[in-house]
Amino acid sequence: MANPPFPRPRKALAALDPYVPGRSAEEVMARFGLAQVSKLGSNENPLGLSPLVRDALTQALDRIHHYPDGECTRLRALLAARLGLTPGQFLFANGVDNVLTCVGLAFFDRGDRIVTGIPTYTAYANLAKLMGAELIGVPLRDWRFDIPAISRAARGAKAVIVCNPNNPTGAIVPADDMAALLNLIPPDVLVVVDEAYAEWVDDPTFPDTMTLLRRHPNIVVLRTFSKIYGLAGLRVGCAIGSPGVIAALHQVREPFPVDRLAQAAAEAVLDDTAYLRASFENNRAGKTALAKGFTALGLRHLPSQANFILVDLGQPAAGVAERLLEHGMILRPGAMWGLPTWARVTIGTPEDNARLLEALATVLRGSQHKERR
C-alpha cells in the first residue's frame, strides 16, 4: 500500500545537517556503569554553579507562574551600564543559537551570499541553508581567518560571520585584522562577530568590539552566558549592535525569548566576580597543563584563546573518543569540521585534565599495540 499523502516540509530542510550535541555525562554513566564522568566535549564551565546564581534561582521560583519580561529590561540595563552602551543596543534570546536565528530571519534573503572562514561553528552553514542563502566558506590560513580572502569574498555579499575566538581552533582575529576587515568591506555588509568565548581571552591584541561598533554600525556582536558564566543549561545569549540592527532583530524574536529563571541567573552571575575570576584562572592553568600533557604524548595541538584545545590524535578521532567513554571521558571528535584525526578537548578541573591525559595515554598505547600485532 502506498504511503498516504502528508504535508511536505520546506525543501531547505533536506540540505540541513542537524546539529548533534555532545554526549551527556548521564548517558555515558548509564551505558558503562560508571560513577564518575568528565564531560570535556561541550565547552562548558567545569566549576559548576555560581553561589549567587543558586540564591537568585531560589528567589525567582515563586514567580514562575508569571510570564517573564519579554524585553529583558533589567538585564539589558545592567549590561548597557557595564559596556557604556544604551539598552536599545541589546537583544536577548534563548542562547546564541536563537540569536543567530533572529539574525537570519531579519537579514538573510534567498540567494544572499554569507561569508565565513572554515572550519568554524557549524550552525552558520545551517542558518544560511535554512534561509535559502549561499554560504561562502573561505579556508583558514595557518588555522586563522584569512582576512584578505574573506574581504574579497565579501564583495557583493550580505553578511560576514567571524567567530572570535574561533570554534574549533581557538585562534583569534586580532584587533588590526578586524579593523582591516571592517575597512575593506562595504558598510552595507552585516558583520556578525560571534564572541561566545571572548571572556576566556588573555591575548592583549584581542579587538575591543564595543569600541568598534560605535564607529561601524554594520557590526553585530554575539555574546553568551553559557561559557564562563556557567549557564549553559539555562540558555541566555545576546546580540549587541547599533539601534537599527537591534530593532530589526526585535521584530523577529519570540515574545518571551528568555525565561524568568534564566534572566534571574544572568543578572546574578554578572556580580559574582570571584566566580568569574576562579573560572578564568582555572581555564588558564588547565590549558597549560593539557598542552604540556599533549606534548608529552607526542600530539600536535593548536594554541587556544578559548576554553578548549584542538589536538591531532594521529588516528581517527571518533574511534579514540569512543574508547575514552569506557574511561569516563567525553571529548568532541573533529569529523564534523572536516578534521577526522583531530579532537576538541574542553578545559576541565585539574582532576578532569589529569584523568583525561591518563586515559588518553592508555587508549593510544592500546592502539599502538594493536597496530604492531
CATH, residue 300? 3.90.1150.10
Q: Where among 214, 238, 269 does a domain terminate?
A: 269
- φ/ψ of residue 195, rounded to 5: -105, 45
- Give me the domain span that covers residue 304: 21-48+273-372
| CATH number of the domain enclosing 123 | 3.40.640.10
Neighbours of 297 (CB within 10 A): 16
CA 197 – CA 101 distance, rounded (Å): 19
Mean pLDDT, rounded, for 129-151: 97
Confidence of residue 164 (pLDDT cuts 50, 70, 90): very high
CA 163 – CA 170 distance, rounded (Å): 9
> For strand 237-241 and strand 90-93, is the pairing parallel, antiparallel, or unpaired?
antiparallel
* Angle at which helices 317-325 and 25-32 cross, to 10°: 70
Predicted TM-score (pTM) of this structure: 0.93
Q: What pLDDT, on a 0 to 100 scale, did the predictor assign at position 354? A: 97
Q: Is the Cα torsion angle 297, 299, 302, 306 positive or negative in sign?
A: negative
Say yes or no: 205 and 307 in one domain.
no
Residue 91 in any domain: the answer is yes
Neighbours of 292 (CB within 10 A): 11
**Alpha carbon of 243 to those of 104, 107, 109, 196, 358: distances in Å?**
17, 15, 21, 21, 51
* Angle at which helices 51-60 and 260-269 cross, to 10°: 150
Per the model's pLDDT, the better-predicted residue between 13 and 75 turns out to be 75
pLDDT, tens only, 186-220: 999 999 999 999 999 999 999 999 999 999 999 99
Beta bridge partners of 115: 136, 160
Asked whether the bond before 18 is cis by omega within 30 degrees of 0, the reply is no
CA 272 – CA 280 distance, rounded (Å): 13
Q: What pLDDT, on a 0 to 100 scale, did the predictor assign at position 367? A: 64
Q: What do you get for the CA distance between the two ends of the chain, in Å?
A: 53
Q: Over pLDDT 90: what percentage of the chain?
A: 87
Q: What pLDDT, on a 0 to 100 scale, did the predictor assign at position 371? A: 54
Q: 41 near 332, Cβ under 8 Å? A: yes
Q: What DSSP letter does each residue of 206-249 carry, written as one string?
A: S--HHHHHHH-TTEEEEEESSSTT--TTT--EEEEE-HHHHHHH
Q: What pLDDT, on a 0 to 100 scale, did the predictor assign at position 28? A: 85
Say yes or no: 102 and 210 in one domain.
yes
Say yes or no: 128 and 38 in one domain.
no
Cell numbers of 249, please?
532583530
Neighbours of 38 (CB within 10 A): 24
Q: What pLDDT, on a 0 to 100 scale, did the predictor assign at position 5? A: 74
Q: What pLDDT, on a 0 to 100 scale, did the predictor assign at position 2? A: 60
pLDDT surpassing 60 at residue 372: no
pLDDT, tens only, 2-52: 666 778 888 888 887 777 777 788 888 888 888 899 999 999 999 999 999
Total domains present in the chain: 2
pLDDT, tens only, 82-105: 999 999 999 999 999 999 999 999
Q: 130 near 16, Cβ under 8 Å? A: yes
Q: What pLDDT, on a 0 to 100 scale, did the predictor assign at position 305? A: 98
Neighbours of 73 (CB within 10 A): 12
DSSP state of 30: H
Say yes or no: 345 and 240 in one domain.
no
Q: 40 near 352, Cβ under 8 Å? A: yes
Say yes or no: 221 and 313 in one domain.
no
CA 206 – CA 366 distance, rounded (Å): 41
Say yes or no: 196 and 307 in one domain.
no
**Alpha carbon of 372 to those of 92, 146, 312, 362, 368: distances in Å?**
55, 41, 21, 16, 6
Q: Where among 269, 288, 323 does a domain terminate?
A: 269
pLDDT, tens only, 231-273: 999 999 999 999 999 999 999 999 999 999 999 999 999 999 9
pLDDT surpassing 70 at residue 280: yes
Say yes or no: 286 and 324 in one domain.
yes
CA 320 – CA 180 distance, rounded (Å): 40
Q: Where among 241, 269, 297 does a domain terminate?
A: 269
- φ/ψ of residue 93, rounded to 5: -150, -175
CA 126 – CA 88 distance, rounded (Å): 29
Say yes or no: 280 and 360 in one domain.
yes
Q: What pLDDT, on a 0 to 100 scale, did the predictor assign at position 68? A: 96
Q: 114 near 124, Cβ under 8 Å? A: yes
Q: 290 near 347, Cβ under 8 Å? A: yes
pLDDT, tens only, 281-305: 999 999 999 999 999 999 999 999 9
Confidence of residue 151 (pLDDT cuts 50, 70, 90): very high
Q: What is the mean pLDDT of the chain?
A: 94
Asked whether the bond before 207 is cis by omega within 30 degrees of 0, the reply is no
Q: What pLDDT, on a 0 to 100 scale, did the predictor assign at position 1? A: 53
